[in-house]
Amino acid sequence: MKLTGAEIVIKALEYEGVEVVFGYPGGAVIPLYDKLYDSSLRHVLVRHEQGAAHAADGYARATGKTGVVFATSGPGATNLVTGIATAYMDSVPLVAFTGQVVLSSIGRDSFQEADITGITLPIVKHSYLVRDVDQLAATIRAAFHLAGTGRRGPVLIDLPKDVTLAQAEFSYPPQVSFRGYRPSGDCNTSQIYKAAKAIGMSRKPVIYAGGGVVASEAAEELRELAETARIPVTTTLMGKGVFPEEHPLSLGMLGMHGTVYANYAISHCDLIIACGARFDDRVTGRLDTFAPQAKIIHIDIDPAEIGKNVRVHYPLNGDVKTILRELIPRIELPQTEEWIEQIARWKKEHPLSYRQEGEVIKPQYVIEKICELVGEEAIVTTEVGQNQMWAAQYYRVTRPRRFITSGGLGTMGYGLPAAVGAQIGCPDALVINISGDGSFQMNLQELATIVQCRLPVKIAILNNGYLGMVRQWQELFHNKRYSQTELIPVPDFVKLAEAYGIAGFRARRPEDVVPVLERGLAHPGPVLMDFVVDREENVYPMVPPGESITKMVGG
């Protein structure tokens, strides 16, 4: 059966089980959109290509499936770059299709031409420029395989317009393989025995869990390890939800804005069991003072991560779930009761705290009330900055894929389009985007997408009129010289919501917070809730940049 390149793309997506595509049309991809018109695929029309990439990313994180995005050539493709980089840093499976000028025009500075495969080279697992329609089906099969296996990530397929119009015999490969590509890792049994023995001999172990636990669906095994061996668990921002944060063994998040007791525990432990985490600088602080007494077991699907930032004593390269299943039966139980008692004392002496008093709303209070009212089934997306860190500290998560945020790249403007994707992927879930007023203004055009798609997304803006986190650093480290961080005037967000046909509510006083939340959450459609909060509230505790994680301000 002969099909055009555009028809091959649609057919291949159907073979891959794709149900929804996020995108924005343009001249170079008109043939693709023409064939999409008659297909069974759902297309979500965003208002900016960056929003499309973040929405596909949010869809992937919420569902565990691979997100798919379409964009046209030139500016359409380059507008995807931030979203692709965001997915790459957080290991999110994504396949991006970009249009390209016709083959004969490539390299001639043609209208809306951009070398998108070159531009994205450092931020994709792989990229393809398809020059021959006969290779298109195999390329798409390979792209989905790469995106969804091993350390997951984005793959880009650039499609010259004439390739989408050319015809080829359609045959979809049942499987693909690449020489030297071992997506499951190469951990051997002797390494697992050594790690199990180290756990049994430890007295002060800590499990340090990251987003790799989410990707490998290993939350159940992680919990079994923690409860069986009585080992406390701290998570990265990307790992929130892999271990219930109400659990007595939970330490919450560690690092720059982590809990005091998590940072103390990691600094005084004798063994770290790192599961799908990469020891990034926001976690370790000063590397030469990080966990000075600890041996390190590092389980990771990506061998390049093992030993990259810290010295690893027991490298276990492979899928977290698979390795934990082999490791747990071999562990001799360590004696950890004294250690757990010590941690309990640290928890009692150094809890997360703030004071809600006076006439001004504290942002932490809003987060706590959201957490109390929405329950553990809700999916929370966040923007980036103070709102993100308060959400990480005060919104307790009990399940994976329920806290969606840009961790590695820290992309402002991520949360709203990610909420679109999460709501599309989980239509029955309550999806709430926690935002700052600065981040919200970066991609607020996606309010139109929410309305067009009839998505009941709830938006909570912590409105302080500042780029809050930058202002906090200027306050603490630059003598309150607030250079270009005040965002006055702040738009009337309630009127803005109403302009898009979305219900809007505002809280200015602490006693307004719960009624506004109750009214907003009960509303059947999309809602924007504007919380006018303390303008100069800071996120504490905080490890100053470049310091040891035991040197916390406000802890």
Look at residue 203 and give its three-state secondary structure: coil
CA 350 to CA 258: how far, in whole Å? 12
In this predicted structure, the answer to whether residue 448 has a pLDDT above a threshold of 80 is yes
> In the chain, what percentage of residues exceed pLDDT 70?
100
Q: Tell how far CA 516 is from the center of its chain.
A: 28
CB 35 within 8 A of CB 12: no
Q: What is the average pLDDT across 480-506?
A: 96
CA 226 to CA 213: how far, in whole Å? 14
Tokens 């109390």: give the residue. Answer: 372
- pLDDT single digits (tens) 159-172: 999 999 999 999 99
Token pair for 150: 């091993």
CB 404 within 8 A of CB 433: no
Q: For residue 180, what pLDDT band results from cuts at 50, 70 and 90? A: confident
Catalytic residue among 112, 135, 342, 445: 112
Of 156, 18, 164, the closest CA to residue 81 belongs to 156
In this predicted structure, the answer to whether residue 555 has a pLDDT above a threshold of 80 is no
β partners of residue 233? 207, 250
Question: What is the pLDDT at residue 273?
Answer: 98
Of 206, 183, 182, the closest CA to residue 293 belongs to 206
Token pair for 317: 């390269």
Interhelix angle 363-374/510-522, nearest 10 degrees: 30
Report the Cα–Cα distance between both ends of the chain, in Å, rounded.
Answer: 67
Q: Are strands 42-45 and 250-253 parallel, antiparallel or unpaired?
A: unpaired
Q: What is the average pLDDT across 77-94?
A: 98
Hey, do 2-169 and 189-350 end up sharing a CATH topology, with the first three levels equal? yes
Residues in the chain: 555
Sheet holding 233-235, edge to edge: 250-253, 233-235, 205-209, 271-275, 295-300, 314-317
β partners of residue 437? none
The reply to whether 111 belongs to the active site is yes
- pLDDT single digits (tens) 99-119: 999 999 999 999 999 999 999
Catalytic residue among 11, 125, 161, 362: 161
Torsion of CA 547, 548, 551, 555, to 10 degrees: 100
Q: What is the average pLDDT across 166-184?
A: 90
The reply to whether 49 belongs to the active site is yes
The reply to whether 369 belongs to the active site is no
DSSP state of 510: H
Q: For residue 58, what pLDDT band results from cuts at 50, 70 and 90? A: very high
Question: What is the pLDDT at residue 45?
Answer: 98
pTM: 0.97
Q: Tell how far CA 420 is from the center of its chain.
A: 14
Preceding amide of 351 cis, omega within 30 = no
Question: What is the pLDDT at residue 377?
Answer: 83
Q: Are strands 2-4 and 167-169 parallel, antiparallel or unpaired?
A: antiparallel
CA count, 13 A, side-chain hemisphere, 34: 12
CATH number of 363-532: 3.40.50.970
Task: Mean pLDDT check: name the lowest of 132-141, 350-359, 513-522.
Answer: 350-359
Q: What is the average pLDDT across 373-381?
A: 91
Class of residue 115 by CB neighbours under 10 A (exposed 0-12, middle 13-18, buried 19+): middle
Q: What is the average pLDDT across 418-447?
A: 98
In this predicted structure, the answer to whether residue 182 has a pLDDT above a threshold of 90 is no
Token pair for 181: 């590509």
Question: What is the pLDDT at residue 179?
Answer: 84
Supply the mean pLDDT for the chain.
Answer: 96
CB 58 within 8 A of CB 421: yes
Catalytic residue among 7, 16, 49, 368: 49
Catalytic residue among 89, 256, 389, 469: 469
Question: What is the pLDDT at residue 181?
Answer: 87
Catalytic residue among 111, 220, 332, 477: 111
The reply to whether 14 belongs to the active site is no
Q: For residue 124, what pLDDT band results from cuts at 50, 70 and 90? A: very high
Domain boundaries, the chain: 2-169, 189-350, 363-532
CA 199 to CA 214: how far, in whole Å? 23
CB 466 within 8 A of CB 487: yes
Q: For residue 239, what pLDDT band results from cuts at 50, 70 and 90? A: very high
> In the chain, what percentage of residues exceed pLDDT 90?
94
70: left (phi over 0), alpha (psi -120 to 50) or beta: beta
The reply to whether 290 belongs to the active site is no
Torsion of CA 298, 401, 127, 443, to 10 degrees: -130
CATH homologous superfamily of 189-350 equals: TPP-binding domain (3.40.50.1220)
CATH architecture of 2-169: 3-Layer(aba) Sandwich (3.40)
